[in-house]
Amino acid sequence: MVAYVRMSTDHQKYSTENQLDVLRRYADDRGYEIIRVYEDSGRSGLRLDGREALQSLIAAVSAGQADFQAILVYDVSRWGRFQNADEGAYHEYVCSRAGIRVHYCGEQFENDGSIGSNLLKTVKRVMAGEYSRELSVKVFAGQCRLVELGYRQGGHPGYGLRRMLIDEQGSPKGELSKGERKSLQTDRVVLIPGPEAECDIVREIYALFVLRGLSETQIAALLNARGVLTDFDRPWTRAAVHQILINEKYIGHNIFNRVSFKLKQRRVKNPREMWIRANDAFPAIVEEALFLRARQIVDARSQHLSDDDLLTRLRGLLQQKGVLSGFIIDECETMPSSGAYRHRFGSLLRAYQLIGYDPERDYRYIEINRRLRAAHPQFVADIISGIQTAGGKAEVDAATQLICVNGEFALSVILARCSATLAGSLRWHVRLDTGLVPDITIAVRMDEFNRGPQDYFLLPSLDITSEKLRLSEQNGLGLDAYRFDTLDYLFLMSRRAQLVEAL
């Protein structure tokens, strides 16, 4: 049998070590042998997404590749805190249908299929989901309280601002760089003005917009002509300038709850009256009067427009450009923002439908990408299962999401969407994870309909010189030398020396 353990940040009693102690005692008492441990560390139990170990476990069961007869889990909540109790029951049913029983070793009942057991499991599943809901309310209340005290709750500081770490007495401890976080629970983070050169750029943006009447597009072009880059070291766009003009942090206000994504369900953009705020929480970069004037100009673009006016402008933009997208709308200074259309009509696609615009390519692109994102964990699980079946060891690194094989080298799995040119030729654009520096990238070329894999390319890091790779139906020898019709060969070459020799 195998053991499954999961830990998010619940409590020390749910540490993976404590869970494994209970599972091993349970197995020893009954004469069972644990042959493998599946572990999801630092993973929420709200959804299956992101829980690579459980996905791999269920994939092996569904594919009939399970070499075990039972799964040991600490309790029902470690299996998952799904908001729909039936989801947890479904995943257990998949195992049960394959003849594999799930044992909840820390519960006070035997999962033997009896009426009492089924009733208790249902109650426990509902309680596990309710715990997450109650915890979400408590965490949100705590976050709101900290925001009202002027402390920053995550997120990038923005151009012209920096994050300062302070202790529980409010004394500065040092500025946090990109990617750095606080290490002590009693520490807090506040925003402070950044370098004076960046603050001057922010003030200039407001002056150009309010006093000189320049549009966001014109301001972006002016900054780019001078070689000024954003805080992400990128050229300025209309959207980047627009975000500076509408964000209250530039007048020292601490704002929270502009967007909700509670319990990993649906992302919601909240109206201003629902925002949590602390005014004058830190030094302002621009004057409040100037900021309010900029907001009035922005709001006036859509505030007094009726639904028919908004749709009329959208039709005009469609006639001018021939196509529509959120980026095209946001980059047009005479148009309300794409967010205004989403807020008024519920979504951009709904607004498109009302003007009779059917972006077929956009629909396909969105749907295909959504399907590929959903399929990616299954590809990763299949690769891990194949390597393990061949006698190798493979697991997903929680920090990088790369597959570590035998503790020797790392694999990255990329699904390349298939698209057709106007002439009907097929093309695949591969975006490589050069920032993670995997030893080998497995590029999965999807078939013409993007329904399944057509073939695989194994790309050693030594041969990767660009972040993007364009593949056609027939490629040069340098690429075809690494092409395989199946992953069977990769599974057999689960040892680094063999794989390097094969490549």
Which CATH number characterizes residue 178's domain? 3.90.1750.20
Residues 280, 371 share a domain:
no
Pairwise pLDDT comparison (266 vs 294), residue with the higher score: 294
- The encoded tokens of residue 219 equal 């301001």
**Residue 205 confidence (pLDDT) above 90:** yes
Q: Rounded CA gap, 18 and 105, in Å?
A: 12
Q: How many CB atoms lie within 10 A of CB 399?
A: 8
- The encoded tokens of residue 383 equal 């690769």
**Residue 224 confidence (pLDDT) above 90:** yes
Residues 478, 390 share a domain:
yes
85 occurs within a structural domain: yes
Give the pLDDT confidence score for residue 223 in this predicted structure: 94
166 occurs within a structural domain: yes
Give the pLDDT confidence score for residue 493 in this predicted structure: 41
Cβ 445 vs Cβ 457: under 8 Å: yes
503 occurs within a structural domain: no
Cβ 161 vs Cβ 192: under 8 Å: yes
DSSP 205-267: HHHHHHTS---HHHHHHHHHHTT---TTS----HHHHHHHHH-GGGGT-EEE-SEE-GGGS--
Q: How far is CA 471 from CA 261, 412, 436, in A?
A: 37, 18, 22
Give the pLDDT confidence score for residue 422 in this predicted structure: 64
Ramachandran region, residue 213 (left: φ > 0; alpha: ψ -120 to 50; beta: rest)? left
**Residue 208 confidence (pLDDT) above 90:** yes
**Residue 404 confidence (pLDDT) above 70:** yes
Grade residue 18 by pLDDT with cuts at 50, 70 and 90: confident
502 occurs within a structural domain: no
Q: Rounded CA gap, 389 and 229, in Å?
A: 50
Residues 190, 173 share a domain:
yes
Q: What is the per-residue pLDDT across 251-261, written as a single tens digit (0 to 9) for each?
A: 998 888 777 65
**Residue 215 confidence (pLDDT) above 80:** yes
- What mean pLDDT do residues 244-269 have? 75
Show which of 314, 330, 354 is a domain's final residue: 354
Residues 330, 371 share a domain:
no
The alpha helices in 301-430, defined as continuous H runs, are 307-321, 326-330, 338-345, 348-354, 360-389
Residues 293, 335 share a domain:
no
**Residue 482 confidence (pLDDT) above 60:** no
Q: What percent of the chain has pLDDT over 70?
A: 85
Contacts of 125 (CB under 8 A, 6+ apart): 76, 82, 85, 88, 89
- Most confidently predicted of 8-22, 204-218, 292-306: 204-218
Q: Rounded CA gap, 81 and 415, in Å?
A: 29
Give the pLDDT confidence score for residue 197 in this predicted structure: 93
Tell me the CATH number at 113.
Answer: 3.40.50.1390
Give the pLDDT confidence score for residue 435 in this predicted structure: 64
**Residue 202 confidence (pLDDT) above 90:** yes
**Residue 376 confidence (pLDDT) above 60:** yes
DSSP state of 278: E
156 occurs within a structural domain: no
Number of folded domains in the chain? 4
The alpha helices in 390-468, defined as continuous H runs, are none
Among residues 477, 416, 473, 470, which one has the least CA distance to residue 442?
416
Among 92-106, 231-245, 251-265, 390-404, the least confident range:
251-265
Q: Phi then psi for 408, rounded to 5 degrees?
A: -115, -40
Cα 63 to the chain's mean position, in Å? 27
Residues 52, 82 share a domain:
yes
Q: How far is CA 100 from CA 25, 71, 124, 199, in A?
A: 20, 7, 21, 62
**Residue 402 confidence (pLDDT) above 80:** yes
**Residue 477 confidence (pLDDT) above 50:** no
225 occurs within a structural domain: yes
Residues 290, 186 share a domain:
yes
471 occurs within a structural domain: yes
Residues 374, 328 share a domain:
no
Residues 442, 336 share a domain:
no
Residue 402 belongs to domain spanning? 364-494
- For 49-92, the three-class secondary structure string (H helix, E strand, C coil) is CCCHHHHHHHHHHHCCCCCCCEEEECCHHHHCCCCCHHHHHHHH
387 occurs within a structural domain: yes
Give the pLDDT confidence score for residue 132 in this predicted structure: 75
**Cα torsion at 234, 236, 238, 243 (round to 10°)?**
80
Residues 121, 165 share a domain:
no
**Residue 225 confidence (pLDDT) above 90:** yes
Give the pLDDT confidence score for residue 9 in this predicted structure: 62
Cβ 458 vs Cβ 490: under 8 Å: yes
- What mean pLDDT do residues 244-250 have? 91
Q: What mean pLDDT is reported for the chain? A: 81
Show which of 275, 298, 321 is a domain's final residue: 298
Q: What is the per-residue pLDDT across 156-192, written as a single tens digit (0 to 9) for each?
A: 888 999 989 888 888 888 888 877 777 777 788 888 9
Q: What is the per-residue pLDDT across 23-58, written as a single tens digit (0 to 9) for each?
A: 999 999 988 899 999 988 877 777 777 788 898 898
Among 72-76, 306-310, 316-320, the least confident range:
306-310
Residues 319, 288 share a domain:
no
Residues 283, 186 share a domain:
yes
Show which of 315, 333, 354 is a domain's final residue: 354
**Residue 263 confidence (pLDDT) above 60:** no
Q: How far is CA 236 from CA 223, 247, 316, 339, 401, in A?
A: 7, 17, 26, 19, 31
- Most confidently predicted of 119-133, 204-218, 326-340: 204-218
Give the pLDDT confidence score for residue 108 in this predicted structure: 84
Helix (H) / strand (E) element for 24: namely: helix 16-30
Among residues 178, 186, 8, which one has the least CA distance to residue 81?
8
Q: What percent of the chain has pLDDT over 90?
A: 17
**Residue 497 confidence (pLDDT) above 50:** no
Give the pLDDT confidence score for residue 244 in this predicted structure: 92
Tell me the CATH number at 468.
Answer: 3.40.1350
Among 125-129, 168-172, 333-337, 447-451, the least confident range:
333-337
Q: What is the per-residue pLDDT across 68-113, written as a single tens digit (0 to 9) for each?
A: 999 999 988 888 888 788 888 888 899 999 999 999 998 888 888 8
Q: Rounded CA gap, 39 and 16, in Å?
A: 8
Cα 10 to the chain's mean position, in Å? 21
- What mean pLDDT do residues 279-296 have? 90
